Structure 1
C-alpha cells in the first residue's frame, strides 16, 4: 500500500507581505500529479492545513479543489487539524465527507476510530491525532492526565495502542499508522513555526511512536527522519528565509503485509526560490557570484560600516524581489559601547545633538549637505527666539 505523507500547507499564508496563494495552487498541482503518477492509495495531511482559524473564502475554495482532485485521482484523504487550524471548523461535515473518501480527524473522540485500508492480506489502520492543546485536552482525556504536551499525547497514544491490541486479539492483525501534529524530541525547527511550549513542555518523547508501523508527523517545516518509522514531511513551500536550503515536497510511504518497506522523498518545486545574501552594497551589486539571486525572493544583510543612502532602492536595482533588508556593520554595531543618552550628554551644541540623533536612528553620519540644512534651520530658530 502506498501513502503520500504531507503536512503544514498553511493555505492563506503570506511571505513577508507577499501573498502565496498562487504558489500554493502550484504545489497542489504537483501533489495531484504525484498522486496520479505514483498510484497513491491515500494522502495523509498531518495538520496546519490552513494558516489561521478563520481562512478567507478563496483559501477554503483552494482546499476544496485539492480534496476533490485527490479523490478524483483515486486516493483517499486522511486529514488532521494542527495548531493553526480551527478543529471545529475544519472538521465540519466530516461524517458526510467520509462517504466521498475524505476522512477528517479533528477531535479527541475520533482518536481511536482509525481509517482501515485493506489490500490483499494487509490491513493498515490509520489513526489521526489532532493537535491537542494541553490545558484544553487534559481534562477531556482524564483527570489524571498531566496538562503538558507529553501528557496529552501520551494518553492519546496509550488509547491507540489499546485499540490496536484489542483488534489483534479479535483476529484483525492491523498495521498501525499514526498521524500527529507535535514537536517530537530531536526535531530541527525553523523560524516560521509557532512555538508550542505555552501551556506545557513543548517536546514529546520520540519513543512514544516506537511501536507503530509509521508515524506521519506535522508541525516542523523541515523534512526530517527522527527514526526509520518516524518522519516529518515538512511544509511543501518555504515559509521563512531559514528554510531557504531545505528540500520541499512530500514523502511516499510504502507498506506490505509485514510492515513498513520504504520511505521516499518526493520533490516539489517552488515557483520562487529564496536567497539569503550578505555583504557590502558594492559587493552585492557587482559580484557575479550572486547572479543566482536576481530572480529570487531575497533577504539581504548589508555589512557596510555606515548604512548606505537609499539602501533598499539600490539593492533592488539588481535584486528586485528583495523582501527583507537589515544592516550589520562588519566592524560591529556603531556606538555599541555607549548608550544614546550618554552620547547625547556629550553633545557640545544643538548641531551636535541633531547630527547625533540622525546618526543614531539610521547608522550613518550626517553628510555635509545635511549639516548645512541643520545649521540653517537652527539659525532661524535661534533668531526667532532672540526676537521674542
Structure 2
C-alpha cells in the first residue's frame, strides 16, 4: 500500500497581511498530481487543516475542492483535526462526505480504525484528533491505565495510544496512527522536571507511539524524522520567514506484507520564495540585489547606524513583495562605552542633553549637521519666548 503523509495546510492563514489562498491552492493542486502520478492509495492529512476555529467561507471552498480532487485520483483520504481546527466544524459533515473521504475528529472513536485493504490484507488507520486535556479528560474520568488523571498532552496522548494498541489487538493486520502534537525523543511521560511546550503543546515522548507500522504526525511545520516509522511532514507552504530554509513536501510511505517497506520525501513547488536580506539599506536596494529578488517575499534587515526615512516604502518600490523590515544597527555598544546616565552627568546645556539622548538611542551617533542646526533653532526660539514672559 502506498500512503502520502501531509499535514498543517492551515487554510486561511495570512502571511504578513497577505492572503495565502491562491498559493495554497496551487500547491495542493501539485500535491494532487503527485498522488495521481505515484498511484497513492491513501492520503493522510495530520491536523491543522484550517488556520482558525472559525474559517471563512473561502477556506471551506478550498478544502472541499482539494478533497474532491484527491478523491478523484482514486485515493482514499483520511483527515484529522489539529489544535488550530474546530473539531466540531471540521467534522460536522463527516457523515455526509462521499465514500473514501474520512474526517476523524471524535476522541471516543480513537480505537475504531478506518480499514483499507490491499493485496496483502487490511491496513488499519487510527486517527487521533488533537486532544486538549482540559476538554477531553471528561471522556476518560478514570484516567490512564495507572489511574492518573489526564492533565498534560503527554499523558492524554499516551492514553490515546493505549486505545490505539487495544484497537490493533482487536483488528489484525498492519496499522498506521495519525496524531497532532509536539513529539520529542524523551524517555517517559512522567518525571520531567518541568513542562516543556512547543507551539502551545507540551512534549509527547516518541516512545508513546510504539506499536503501529507508521506514525503520521502533524504540528511541526518542517519535516522531521524522529525514527524510521515516526515522522512529521511539515506544512505545504512557508508560513513565516523562520521556515524559509525548510523544504516543503510530503512523505511517500510504502507498506508491504510485513509492514513499513520504504519512505521517500516528495518535494512540493514553492510558489514564491522567502528571502532575508541583511545589510545597509543602500546595499539591499542595489540593482543586482533587486534583480535577483524582485519576485521573492522579502524580509529586509537594514544595518544602518540610524533609522532611515520610510524604509518600507523605499523597499517596496524595488521589492513589490517586501513583507517585513527591521532595523538592526551593525554598531553595538561596547562594554566600556558610557551609559546614558553617565552621558547625562556630563551634559551641561539642553543641547548637550539632546545630543546624549541621540547617541544613546542611535548606537553612538549624535545629531547630524542639519539636525544640530534645527535643535539650536528650536532651543533659541524657546529662550526668546521665555524672555518675553
**For residues 71-110 of structure 1, what are the alpha-carbon distances to aligned partners after superposition, in whole Å with 9 as ceiling and x for unaligned?**
122222111111111111111121222x432211112112
**For residues 229-273 of structure 1, what are the alpha-carbon distances to aligned partners after superposition, in whole Å with 9 as ceiling and x for unaligned?**
111001001111121111101111111221111111111111100
Contact kept? 2:182, 2:198, Cα under 8 Å = no
Query: Which residue, 184, 196, 199 being the options, matches 1:195?
Result: 199
Tell me, in whole angstroms, the C-alpha distance in 2 between the residues paired with 1:15 and 1:281: 23
Is 2:370 the counterpart of 1:369? yes
Matching residue of 1:104: 103
Q: Cα distance, 1:156 vs. partner?
A: 0.3
Contact kept? 1:122, 1:256, Cα under 8 Å = no
Moved more, 122-131 or 15-24: 15-24
RMSD: 2.6
- How many residues align? The count is 373
Q: Indicate how the Cα distance of structure 1 residues 60 and 336 shifts in structure 2: closer, same or farther if over 3 A, else same.
A: farther
**For residues 175-222 of structure 1, what are the alpha-carbon distances to aligned partners after superposition, in whole Å with 9 as ceiling and x for unaligned?**
1100000111049xxxxx96224xxxx111111223211000000011
**For residues 115-159 of structure 1, what are the alpha-carbon distances to aligned partners after superposition, in whole Å with 9 as ceiling and x for unaligned?**
100112321100000111122223422333331111000000001
Matching residue of 1:40: 40
Is 2:149 the counterpart of 1:148? no
Matching residue of 1:131: 130
Matching residue of 1:256: 256
**For residues 40-82 of structure 1, what are the alpha-carbon distances to aligned partners after superposition, in whole Å with 9 as ceiling and x for unaligned?**
2121000011111111111111111111111122222111111
Matching residue of 2:193: none
Contact kept? 1:94, 1:103, Cα under 8 Å = yes
Tell me, in whole angstroms, the C-alpha distance in 2 between the residues paired with 1:334 and 1:34: 55
Moved more, 301-310 or 48-57: 301-310
Specify the SS of the correspondent of 1:70. helix
Q: Cα distance, 1:370 vs. partner?
A: 2.0
**For residues 332-382 of structure 1, what are the alpha-carbon distances to aligned partners after superposition, in whole Å with 9 as ceiling and x for unaligned?**
258996665665565433334445545555655332222222222232233
How do 1:1-388 residues align onto structure 2 when only pairs under 5 Å count? 1-97=1-97, 99-141=98-140, 142-143=142-143, 144-167=148-171, 173-186=172-185, 195-197=199-201, 202-286=202-286, 288=288, 292-316=292-316, 318-333=318-333, 340=340, 343-344=343-344, 346-358=346-358, 365-388=366-389
Contact kept? 1:306, 1:365, Cα under 8 Å = no
Unaligned 5+ runs, structure 1: 168-172, 188-192
Q: TM-score, normalised by structure 1?
A: 0.87
Q: Cα distance, 1:291 vs. partner?
A: 5.2
Unaligned 5+ runs, structure 2: 187-196
Tell me, in whole angstroms, the C-alpha distance in 1 between the residues paired with 2:154 and 2:82: 16
Contact kept? 1:81, 1:90, Cα under 8 Å = yes
Matching residue of 1:190: none
Moved more, 46-55 or 317-326: 317-326
Q: Indicate how the Cα distance of structure 1 residues 148 and 346 shifts in structure 2: closer, same or farther if over 3 A, else same.
A: farther
Q: TM-score, normalised by structure 2?
A: 0.87
Specify the SS of the correspondent of 2:170. helix
Specify the SS of the correspondent of 2:237. coil
Q: Cα distance, 1:275 vs. partner?
A: 0.8
Matching residue of 2:191: none
